[in-house]
Structure 1
Amino acid sequence: MSMLTIQQAARRSGLSVPTLRYYEDVGLIGPIARDASSGHRRYRERDLDDLQVLACLRAMGVGIEDMRAYQANRARGNAAAAEQRDILLRHAERVEIERATLRVHLDYLRRKADLWDARDRGDATAEAEAQARVHEIYPEIEMLIRA
């Protein structure tokens, strides 16, 4: 069985060495085996599987508490399937809201760029059209601000 150093585990998982230590400290992983002579952490393939799951959850913006619940549920297997689904769907809804927000931001930026492009070209007709398109998006921006 191959054992990896913390640096190797960090490279393979995409997580930093301090993050690996932190995840062990807060109970998201481990306890991690230690080398008998040096006391240094030694990661097994099973540990790397956990790290890769955590790296994906982290990349999706999942917080520590939900990561902890997710990991505990993984250990429970199929008995925790409904809880796992609920955690993932809750975060999927959050990502959908973020996606919609980013779409409005992107639309606004592009419409403003069109406005400035028309001004740069000296095209008064295109400028007026772009200005109208910018104003059309204001209600969506206001909804985001109020949300």
Structure 2
Amino acid sequence: MLTIQDASRRSGLSEPTLRYYEEIGLIGPIAREATSRHRRYGEQDLDTLQGLACLRAMGVSIEDMRTYQANRALGHGAAGQQRDLLLRHVERVEAEIRTLGVHLEYLRAKAQLWDARACGDAAEEAIASQHVQQMIPSLQAVLR
């Protein structure tokens, strides 16, 4: 059995987050020592926490984590629902990646523009400036 500090360290979730997840029913109830009433986490609890930590890191909402946990408890009978929930997040992450790609290209173009200015290369500055201007519609599209 693990202390809350050990569970926090191994899961990557803070102690307040562990308490909160138990309070809202995402995990637990967690076993407690008879005398001190300190939480004691088992390996199954830790597996659950590590899964939740991954979902949280990917931006999955508390509501979707609740659904995920409920579906998990249902087992194979909820496999399709589990797949659909995860695929919705796949689509969201793919959109974020596309957005970040545009941001990355814009930052590189701006850096090239300023590099050309720093070097005093008017021809390269004009090319870089044109590239930045061509990117504006793409940047505006992802900012909406």
TM-score range, shorter chain: over 0.9
The alpha-carbon deviation at position 145 of structure 1 amounts to 2.9
2:21 alignment counterpart: 23
Distance 1:101 1:26 in 2: 33
1:6 aligns with 2:11: no
CA distance in 2, matches of 1:143, 1:33: 50
- Structure 1 distance, partners of 2:108, 2:22, is 44
- 2:47 aligned partner, one-letter code: D
- Alignment length, in residue pairs? 144
2:107 aligned residue: 109
| Pairwise CA distance, 1:125 | 0.7
Q: Distance in 2 between matches of 1:6 and 1:141?
A: 44
Alpha-carbon shift at residue 24 of structure 1 (Å): 0.2
Match of 1:74 among 72, 89, 105: 72
Where structure 1 has 5 or more consecutive residues not aligned to the other structure, the ranges are none
Q: Deviations over 1:26-54 (max 9, x none)?
A: 00000000000100000000000000000
What residue number does 1:53 align with? 51
1:95 corresponds to 2:93: yes
The one-letter code of the counterpart of 2:141 is M
Find the residue that maps to 2:105 and give its secondary structure: helix
Amino acid at match of 1:122: G
Shift of 1:142: 1.8
1:10, 1:46 → 2: CA distance?
Answer: 14
Q: How far 1:143 sits from its partner (Å)?
A: 1.2
Q: Which runs of 4+ in 1 moved over 2 A?
A: none
Q: Match of 2:5, as an amino acid?
A: Q
Give the secondary-structure state (helix, strand or coil) at the position aligned to 2:68.
helix
Aligned to 1:132: 130
CA–CA separation in structure 1 for the residues paired with 2:119 and 2:106: 20
Where does residue 62 of structure 2 map in the other structure? Answer: 64
Gaps of 5+ in 2: none
> 1:141 offset after TM fit, Å?
1.2
